[in-house]
Amino acid sequence: MKKTMRKLLLLDADVVIDLHTLGLFGKINKAYDVCLTRSVFEEVRYYKKGGAKSMSFKM
């Protein structure tokens, strides 16, 4: 029997950025089917910490 993952819709880029900063995004991503709106995805995708691109996502 295939286990279905619960869906998690993240509507704020700050939440995604903070989860990455705290090292928790990977754990959340394993536990949930994480969904982002396009605007959140674009904002997080271009987030720079200390002048260098700090996150990368695959669609």
d(CA 23, CA 42): 20
Higher pLDDT: 25 or 1? It is 25
For 12-49, write each residue's pLDDT tens digit: 999 998 998 898 999 999 999 999 999 998 888 877 66
pLDDT of residue 50 exceeding 70, the answer is no
- 10 to each of 1, 2, 47, 50, 52, how far by Cα in Å? 28, 25, 16, 24, 24
pTM for this prediction: 0.71
